[in-house]
Amino acid sequence: MKPRALFRALPPLGALAVLALGASGLLFGPGCAFVEKTAGAIADATEGTALGSVSRGISMSAESMKEFTPQQEHYIGRAVAVEILSRYKVHPDSRLQEYVSLVGHAVLAAPEPLRTHRGYRFVVLQGDEVQAVSTPGGFVFLTEGVVRRARDEDELAAVLAHEVAHVSLKHGIGAIKAATRRQALALLVQGVGEGAAQVAGARGDADQKQLAELAGVFGNAIQDITGELLEKGYSRDLEFEADKEAAKYLASSAYARAALPSYLQVLEKEGAGGKGGWTATHPAPADRISELGDLVLGDSPGRSTRRQRFLKVLGDG
């Protein structure tokens, strides 16, 4: 039986809450718009000069301080997703892809998750390592290794709920803002330094080249934050926050909250699949379980039935 038919036949899934909005371009709101526009115009007019470098830094600083619209978050998240897909290959098993997507959307039947501009997309990547990451706008990626280390559907749902929680809590867009501010500061400092060199008559071809490279600093922020997410992850506090939020989603979507600590126990036993992945990007499983406390007590009816569905899709049933 195909995954979609299985989902029609077996509980609990609930109605999928997927928000589908029309396509829209990047529309900048008020706030720092005037500063951003003015500084950007100066930067364009003075490209390759110290003033241009300073103005570009001011423009970037204004951009990183404002709130992004859902449309903007979607396109920023898509840019991060493209960067992730330049590092990983999409798993070729369409049946597995559909199943994971259905479980992810079953989690979204809970009322608590943030509704994004074009809904959520769940993508399985090739690789036995344990790696899962989400981007602004609702793009959720996980390796086959993450899926196969789950012992049932509820544990898989727990992983997906954790990643959805990062999106809902806007952890990704916050990290991108922070990275942009850091790079804007570097650009401002560089511009001031270049201005001093000009006054001293010490500016050379190497300096011109360096300024040209700095012109694409916002794009570099996307690359940098992708690397940070994959290699270092979020702070302990943000990971704990995502775990607690995920527990709410599991309860509301009729999955077992206990599946979150049970999956973490699997990772703890095997060291999370070796170097990198969740080993490097998440707090120790024991610390996460301790932090969750009573939030993850209790099971859910039908878990054994959902386990058989999980094993059948993965070819182990």
> pLDDT value at position 186?
52
Q: What are the DSSP E strand ranges found in the chain?
A: 121-125, 132-135, 139-143
User: Radius of gyration over alpha carbons of the chain, in Å?
Assistant: 22
Torsion over CA: 187, 47, 66, 35 (sign): positive
Say what the alpha-carbon torsion angle 96, 169, 285, 148 is, to the nearest 10 degrees: 0
> pLDDT value at position 268?
87
Q: Is pLDDT at 250 greater than 90 in this prediction?
A: yes
User: pLDDT tens for residues 189-215?
Assistant: 444 344 434 433 444 455 445 444 434
Query: Distances in Å between the alpha carbon of 11 and those of 26, 100, 106, 300, 306?
Result: 40, 16, 10, 11, 8
DSSP annotation of 294 reads G
> pLDDT value at position 226?
83
Closest among 91, 79, 39 to 63, alpha carbons compared: 39
Q: Is pLDDT at 281 greater than 90 in this prediction?
A: no
Q: Is 170 left (phi over 0), alpha (psi -120 to 50) or beta?
A: left
Q: Which segment, 176-180, 262-266, 284-288, is predicted with the most confidence on average?
A: 262-266
> pLDDT value at position 149?
96
Q: CB burial class (10 A; 0-12, 13-18, 19+) of residue 315?
A: exposed
User: pLDDT tens for residues 23-62?
Assistant: 222 323 334 443 344 334 434 443 444 444 444 444 444 4
Averaged pLDDT, 68-97: 91
Q: Percentage of the chain surpassing pLDDT 70?
A: 62
| Cis status of the peptide bond prior to 12, with omega within 30 of 0 | yes
pLDDT higher at 267 or 34: 267
Q: Hey, is 201 helix, strand or coil?
A: coil
User: pLDDT tens for residues 165-179?
Assistant: 999 999 988 877 776
> pLDDT value at position 156?
98
d(CA 224, CA 229): 9
> pLDDT value at position 264?
93
* Residue-range domain boundaries for the chain: 3-7+28-313
- To the nearest 10 degrees (0 to 180), the angle between helices 94-107 and 153-168 is 60
d(CA 143, CA 126): 6
> pLDDT value at position 196?
37
Residues 6+ apart with CB under 8 A from 237: none
User: pLDDT tens for residues 100-140?
Assistant: 999 999 999 999 999 999 999 999 999 999 999 999 999 99
**How would residue 220 be classed by pLDDT, with cut points 50, 70 and 90?**
low
d(CA 52, CA 58): 10
> pLDDT value at position 202?
41
Q: Percentage of the chain surpassing pLDDT 90?
A: 43
Closest among 176, 166, 174 to 120, alpha carbons compared: 166
Asked whether the beta carbons of 180 and 218 are under 8 A apart, the reply is yes
DSSP annotation of 86 reads T
d(CA 173, CA 295): 27
Closest among 184, 313, 177, 164 to 243, alpha carbons compared: 164
Q: What are the DSSP E strand ranges found in 186-232?
A: none
pLDDT higher at 277 or 223: 223
User: pLDDT tens for residues 221-240?
Assistant: 778 778 878 887 888 899 99
Average predicted confidence (pLDDT) for the chain: 73
Asked whether the beta carbons of 234 and 153 are under 8 A apart, the reply is no
d(CA 188, CA 313): 53
